[in-house]
Amino acid sequence: MHISQMEQLSKSIAHLPLTIEPRNVGMKLDLDWALALQANTSAIERRCSSFPGRRSIKKEHQAAWLARSVSCIDLTTLSGDDTAGRVRRICAKARQPVRQDILNRIGLPNLKTGAVCVYHDMVGFAVEALKGTDIPVAAVSTGFPAGLSPLRLRIEEIHESVKAGASEIDIVISRRHVLTQNWQALYDEVAAFRAACGDAHVKAILATGELGSLRNVGRASLICMMAGADFIKTSTGKESINATLPVTLVMLRAIRAYYDRTGFRVGYKPAGGISKAKDAIIYLALVKEELGNRWLRPDLFRFGASSLLGDIERQLEHHLTGAYSANHRHPIG
């Protein structure tokens, strides 16, 4: 990659503050606006099915986009057998997500991931392991992944995660509110979570694969933003259907509509099922087309992923050497 290109890329993604935008303060519930949202499913699916074939990024440009993808990853471990040791290894990988020799050769020696995402119980270990960096810790909360525990317990879990040092809280909405069209209940729930988070940023997980329709996805997206969500996120990663391009298109357009109406930029996080470098580029390209370059920074865009990073590292090494290495040479942690 030409030095001038890499210098420009380095300046654009290195050492970015987590938040340089005003936080979304939310707004009064506007049901007329939300219920007016429709989704032409056939048209959405048709555009998304053709999109990957119409967007091809090669050579130096591809390497630059992959480096941008790394900076936008929420490096995640959400397994029942998580241990303090595993979390520390994930945090070490977040500090140096790609082998140092590769980072040096592409001119980004200080590249880091966007955040580390863990279960509530692991927040303290992650905070300690990331001390001295500006990498935030995100905690999944509110009865993740089902979100079916009593409301007071979900709110208390947020308080405890914030107290432990989490600066981002990935909350899960009650899907039943969407499926029964109880939009007031959804708004009140997310607003309560937002209040409990205090200064920590709220990433509202919609679990889009369980919402029944793209129209429901769009309406739920708008209402979560009205309630003060700083990010809207597709999935917990535990559903049978996670992030997809049609869902992404609907959510991005809801974000654009909200920005046009309020002036607040809300972030987007696709999660679950994104494991290949080429898929990361497709998602970034769609975000660029729908929302513009400003949303291609980690304060407004994240991938919820664990295995994605390994494939990106392989692709970056291939860009430099012309050869693909084995997966085991690029461990996540």
Catalytic residue among 74, 112, 170, 299: 170
| Backbone CA torsion sign across 115, 118, 121, 122 | negative
Strands (DSSP E) contained in the chain are: 73-76, 115-119, 137-140, 168-172, 201-205, 231-233, 267-269, 303-305
Catalytic annotation present for 101: no
Q: Is the pLDDT of residue 3 over 50?
A: no
Question: Could you tell me the pLDDT band of residue 6, with boundaries at 50, 70 and 90?
Answer: very low
Q: Any bridge partners for residue 304, and if so which?
A: 74, 271
Q: Over the stretch 140-169, which tens digit does the pLDDT of each residue have?
A: 999 999 999 999 999 999 999 999 999 999
Residue 55 has pLDDT above 70, yes or no: no
170 an active-site residue? Answer: yes
Distances (CA, A) of 188 to 55, 154, 292: 40, 14, 31
pLDDT above 50 for 14 = no
Domain boundaries, the chain: 3-322
Q: For 74, phi and psi rounded to 5 degrees?
A: -90, 95
φ, ψ of residue 43 in degrees (nearest 5): -70, -40
233 is catalytic: yes
Given the residues 233, 279, 299, 311, select the one marked as catalytic: 233
Among 93, 112, 203, 269, which one carries the catalytic annotation? Answer: 269
Average pLDDT value for residue range 186-191: 98
Which CATH superfamily includes the segment(s) 3-322? Aldolase class I (3.20.20.70)
Q: Output the pLDDT for position 332.
A: 65
Query: Is the backbone peptide bond immediately before 246 cis, with ω within 30 degrees of 0?
Result: no
3-7, 272-276, 310-314, 324-328: lowest mean pLDDT where? 3-7
